[in-house]
Amino acid sequence: MNILIDLLPEEVTIDGVNYKINSDFRTSMLFEMMMQDNEIDESDKLIRTIDLYYPVIPENIEQAIEKALWFYRCGKSIQNGKRDNNGKSEQIYSFEYDDEYIYSAFLDQYGFDLQDTQNLHWWKFKAMFKSLKEDNEIVKIMGYRAMTISNNMSKEQKDFYRSMKRLHEIPKSKSEQEKINDIEKALLGDGDLTKIL
């Protein structure tokens, strides 16, 4: 798919039948926030994905999930994002925690009030989001979160970027934070991690 040439999809074809897909940017934002929520069971995420994207539920659930993911990725193949030391993708923005920065950036750069729009296609939203200029606060924050602190930096630079990373860190989910707290308690206490890990 090419956003310059092709009409943006409002439906997907599953087993030869066209199904309307909820194309508004809010739907895919909710999907992304749901997928990042470690407190929601994986099987429940599948059910919620179908409910989010399809007004009429297709019979072929497996293909419906694949098409929803294709739609969420804007018709592109999976891209390798920046990875942390554990091989996990590094999250540099959050629709949940950065909502005000993102809203303000769209208003500032495009004169576009996301509250006033009834239906902005997800693919249009993503193209605009990817093209936000460096002077928008959200872009600066994403840069701090993505910054790799290297040995080539001066002590002042390292201190500055560490400080910015801490200041703009995306809060961990409650269960993740509880697990970290339990590990810290065990390490500071009896050192027994077997109950936690």
Give a yes or no: residue 169 inside a domain: yes
Each residue of 128-144: pLDDT tens digit? Answer: 999 999 999 999 999 99
What's the rounded Cα separation, in Å, for the pair 82 and 145? 11
Structure tokens at 17: 């039948």
Give a yes or no: residue 41 inside a domain: no
Give a yes or no: residue 11 inside a domain: no
Give a yes or no: residue 166 inside a domain: yes
Each residue of 49-76: pLDDT tens digit? Answer: 999 999 999 999 999 999 999 999 999 8
Overall pTM surpassing 0.75 (yes/no): yes
Work out the burial of residue 64: count CB atoms within 10 Å of its CB; fewer than 13 is exposed, 13-18 middle, 19 or more buried. Answer: buried
What's the rounded Cα separation, in Å, for the pair 26 and 125? 10
Domain count, the chain: 1
Three-state DSSP at 65 gives helix
What's the rounded Cα separation, in Å, for the pair 51 and 77? 23
Alpha helix locations (H) across 17-60?
25-36, 42-53
Q: What domain range includes position 168? A: 147-197
Q: What is the pLDDT of residue 181?
A: 62
Give a yes or no: residue 134 inside a domain: no
Give a yes or no: residue 123 inside a domain: no
Give a yes or no: residue 89 inside a domain: no
Give a yes or no: residue 190 inside a domain: yes
